[in-house]
Structure formats: structure tokens, C-alpha cells
Structure 1
Amino acid sequence: MALTFHSAPGRLPPGQRVYAIGDVHGCVAAHAGLLEQIAEDVAARPVEEAIVIHMGDLIDRGPDSATVLERVARGSPIGGDFINLRGNHEELCLAALTQGGEAAALWRRNGGETCLADWGVPLKAPPEEWAAYVPPEQMAVMQEERIFHRVGGYFFAHAGVRPSVPLAAQDAHDMVWIREPFLSWPSPLEAVVVHGHTPKELPEVRVHRIGIDTGAVYGGRLTAVVLEEDRLAFMQMPGPRSGR
């Protein structure tokens, strides 16, 4: 497919390209379609260095979180590993699997039931038994997620950043959970922040941020932003009609 490029608020060094994928939430077909588009784009437009970043929330709510994690564990379609960022849903899941109790109840209330079903966890299994059903490679994907990644003039974090705090001093909880005042901040930051977490109908490009959660699991689309030099383009795949 031919990409339509626009001027970007940030910049990457020549020879670098980033594909950043928004909140997947178990939308396995849309995720597979985006990976195919990315592989085709790299084949058609070779570049010195290309990376694929998942912006977090690979799991919960959608039709097949386990298969998404399994695919991510196999590595990038353009070679090497993905860069996977921690989303609030992975944070909730890991807390549930290690702490049980209220952490387990909180995760179940926020979409964790779909993951438990994907892993074949019996309905009446107590939380302390859940982790035994998670394949090790899928657990490793979640445990090894980064909180942020920075390249060129861009800073990648699942939810965003606290605008009043230098990027080097950001709090991990903010980068996984924040909405305001980040979303409505009116001014440029040290770097342009690429994020997901807050679903919108369309990708959002502002002076300080690029939001790419377009609600695939809620009947929207799964979006990837393509960043190279001083321009950007979007790739999209339709999500399922509704989450499970």
C-alpha cells in the first residue's frame, strides 16, 4: 500500500525509521495485518535502520490476547526483536498474577477475564494458580516490557508524560497511566511524545504529542504511525466489531 506522508512535529536522523503500533488489546487479526503492512513497506522502501515499537496494552478485552503475545514473542517481521512498552493492562495483569487478592479482582474488572479464558484458566481457579497457565514466553513479553523508549526527537511511552517534569525524571506510574494535564498541554516538550492509552476515533497530532490509540477493540481501527526524518504517515487495520 502507498503511504501518505505529512509533516511531523518531531524528527529522526536520516536512515532511521520507526513503526509504532497503538493499543492492540487482543485484536489479533488487526495486529497481524499491520505487521504484514510493515514488512511490505520495509521490503518496498529499504532503510538503514527500522524498529517496531508496541505502545503497550497488548492484552485484555479483545478476542485473543494469548495469540498476540505469542506472535510478539516470536520477534519482529523485519528482523530482530520488537521494542515493547508497558501498558496499564500489562501492569494490572502482572500485579494480579503475583499478588492475587484485590489486584486480581481489579484486573478482572478491567478486562482480565478475556486473558484468563485465552490461557484456559478454569473459572473457579484461585488467583494464586493463574500464573501456572501462562506460557513462559508470553509471561516474558510482559515482564520484559520497557517503560519508555527514546529515539531522535521522539519519546515513546504508553500513556504520556507529566509535562512539568523533565523527561529524565519522569515517574513510571505517570508514563503508564497519565491522561491530564498531558493530553491538553498547549506547548512543545523536550521531545514529541508518542503514546496510546486514550482512545480516539482518529490519530491525534499535536505540537507535543502523537496519539495512536484509535480504539481497535471498541470497533475502531488499529493504528501504527510511521516516522522517518521530518515526516509521518499512518497505517491502519480494522478492529473486530466489538471486544469480547
Structure 2
Amino acid sequence: MATEGVTFSDAKAPEGMRIYAIGDIHGRFDLLSQMHERIVAEIERDSPADWRIIYLGDYVDRGPESNQVLEFLSTETAADPRVIALAGNHDAGMLSFLNRPRRDGLFALYGGDTTAQSYGVELRLAPKDKLLASAAELEKAVPEKHIEFLRNLPVSASFGDLFFCHAGVRPGIPLEEQKRDDLLWIRNEFHDHFGLYPKLIVHGHTPRLAPEIRLNRVNLDTGAVKFGVLSCMRFEDTRKDLIQVSGS
């Protein structure tokens, strides 16, 4: 790999390893199920020497089945370390709300009501006593298994010439020194940077109508809720292939 950085076309997965990276799910368990089944079928058919399935974060909020998504991913990641789930800002937001309920936080304002509904809880934001009561009801309804899963999510993963995270990285900062908040939240500074990084950045966080492929990064968030499409990219050697599933 050249010292000045790696391009999309040159970025290479480790020898013998196939990697699947999947964009933001946001409670769309139907799309997650389709995608996972398709990937597993490919792995069983092709028997690659090694493989990884990497989910890029934002499992909860907005879509109708956050509960089912967390149950599925917490089970899969516990069963096989080759299935990796990274933290997204919405996943961190759910934990933050359960720890300290706020009516002006990410969870309350951007889709946490549907997450609560998936656990059979109506989220009430006002007055304060109802906010605290519904938060306590939600905390009781969410299995400890889901809480531990959210608490232990890593914020990045790296294999070969590929660096995976939820939102992106801050230009000019070594990948190993990136701050958690940037990996979960960054947008403009990252999107507006056209220079190469030491590795190809594979991320989600910002929904697009189609996967956004740039010289230095790949955005796989295609709006599972907003547009009804879940996207994945398969990396093997220098080859990159797109896989998509869709629903209403």
C-alpha cells in the first residue's frame, strides 16, 4: 500500500478473507433477515477460507422492529466472533436515554418512539413525570442481553486496506487515534475531504438513494427506512461487489 493512501479500486481485503459490510438497519428486521440469509447462503456455497460480516451501526430507531434486530444481532455476534456489529450514534443514543432520560436527546427526537413501541412501551416525553415513568417502563422491558450488546459495541474494525466505522473519520488524524464521537457522528468535515486515507473508509450514517462510492470512502447507508433499501458491499482481494435487498 502506498504511503500517501489507498484508493477504492486498489483497497484490498486480507488474503483469503471475504468481508461483507452492511449499512444502517434502523429497525428493519425484515431487510436484515433477507440480507443475512443471502450472505450466509453465499458463504456456505463458496466456502471462503475466512470471512467476516460487519454491521456498520444504527440498529434501532425509526423502523418498527428494533427489538427483533437487537435480539438477532446480539445472538449472532455471541455465537460467532466473525460476525461483528459496530456502534452507531442511534445505538449510543438509546443507551444514553436509558441511563438519563431526556426529552431533547437523540432517542427522544429521532425515532426512539418506534424503538419503545417494539418493546411494547409508549414513549411519553412530557410532563417530566410521564417521561421518567415511560423511560423506567422501557428499561424494564429491554432485556439485559440487549443492553450488554449495546454497551460492548466496538466503534471501528480494520482488515487489510479497509477501515470500518459508522459515520466516518476526522481528516488528518491517524486512524488508530480517531475519537469515538467522530466515528459515531462526523459528517461535513469527512464528506468534504477528498484526500486519501491510509485505508479505504467504509461507513454509513448518512442515507443516500444509492451507495456513495468515492476515491477514499464508501457510504453504504441507503435508507432502510426512508427508501426501503438495505445495502452491503462484498470485499474479496481487490474485488468489490454490491448486494442489496429491498422492501416497502
Could you state the TM-score of these two structures normalised by the residue count of structure 2? 0.88
Show structure 2 runs of 5+ residues with no match: 1-7, 124-129
CA contact (8 A) 1:194 1:212 kept: yes
Structure 1 residue 211 displacement after superposition: 0.7
Q: How far apart, CA to CA, are the structure 2 residues paired with 1:220 and 1:156?
A: 23
Aligned to 2:44: 43
Aligned to 1:119: 119
The answer to whether residue 162 in structure 2 is matched with residue 167 in structure 1 is: no
Structure 1 residue 81 displacement after superposition: 5.2
The correspondence for 1:130, drawn from 138, 141, 162, is: 138
The answer to whether residue 72 in structure 2 is matched with residue 67 in structure 1 is: no
Residues 225-236 of structure 1 correspond to what in structure 2 (within 5 A)?
225-236=233-244
* Superimposed CA distance per residue, residues 145-186 of structure 1 (whole angstroms, 9 cap, x where no aligned partner): 101111110111100000121112111100000011211211
Structure 1 residue 129 displacement after superposition: 4.2
Structure 1 residue 35 displacement after superposition: 0.4
Question: What's the Cα RMSD here?
Answer: 1.9
Residues 125-204 of structure 1 correspond to what in structure 2 (within 5 A)?
125-204=133-212
SS at match of 1:75: helix
Residues 13-92 of structure 1 correspond to what in structure 2 (within 5 A)?
13-75=14-76, 79-80=80-81, 82-92=83-93
The answer to whether residue 229 in structure 2 is matched with residue 224 in structure 1 is: no
Q: How far apart, CA to CA, are the structure 2 residues paired with 1:199 and 1:210?
A: 12
* Superimposed CA distance per residue, residues 11-57 of structure 1 (whole angstroms, 9 cap, x where no aligned partner): 11221111111000011111100001101111121111111111000
CA contact (8 A) 2:102 2:108 kept: no
Aligned to 1:4: none
Q: How far apart, CA to CA, are the structure 2 residues paired with 1:80 and 1:146?
A: 12
Q: How far apart, CA to CA, are the structure 1 residues paired with 2:219 and 2:166?
A: 10
Q: How far apart, CA to CA, are the structure 1 residues paired with 2:82 and 2:44?
A: 17
CA contact (8 A) 1:9 1:207 kept: no
* Superimposed CA distance per residue, residues 104-163 of structure 1 (whole angstroms, 9 cap, x where no aligned partner): x54111110011111122444342443121012222221111011111101111000001
Show structure 1 runs of 5+ residues with no match: 1-6
Aligned to 1:3: none
Q: How far apart, CA to CA, are the structure 2 residues paired with 1:45 and 1:97?
A: 42
Aligned residue pairs, count: 233
Question: Share of identical aligned residues, percent?
Answer: 34
SS at match of 1:17: strand
Structure 1 residue 216 displacement after superposition: 1.2
Could you state the TM-score of these two structures normalised by the residue count of structure 1? 0.89
- CA gap of 1:239–1:162, structure 2 versus 1, over 3 A, is farther
Aligned to 2:127: none
Structure 1 residue 102 displacement after superposition: 4.7
Q: How far apart, CA to CA, are the structure 2 residues paired with 1:173 and 1:239?
A: 32
Q: How far apart, CA to CA, are the structure 1 residues paired with 2:209 and 2:58?
A: 17
* Superimposed CA distance per residue, residues 206-241 of structure 1 (whole angstroms, 9 cap, x where no aligned partner): 11101100011102310011011101111111143x
Paired amino acid for 2:74: A
SS at match of 1:52: strand
CA contact (8 A) 1:9 1:208 kept: no
